[in-house]
Copies of this chain bind each other. A is one copy, B any other.
Amino acid sequence: MVKLVAIYRQPENKEEFDRHYKEVHAPLAAKMPGLLKMEVNRVYGTPMGESDLYLIAEMYFENQETLEQGLASSEGRAAGKDLMGFAKKLVTMHFAEVV
Q: Which residues of A contact B (CB under 8 A)?
A: 3, 5, 7, 39-48, 51-53, 56, 71, 80, 92-99
Contacts and interface: CB of A to CB of B under 8 A. Distances in A.
B47 A99 contact: no
Interface of A is mostly: strand
A97 B44 contact: yes
B5 A94 contact: no
Number of copies: 2
A71 B47 contact: yes
A96 B97 CA distance: 20
Given A46-B92, A47-B71, A71-B47, A97 B41 contact: yes
Given A5-B56, A56-B5, A94 B40 contact: no
Contacts of A44: 95-97
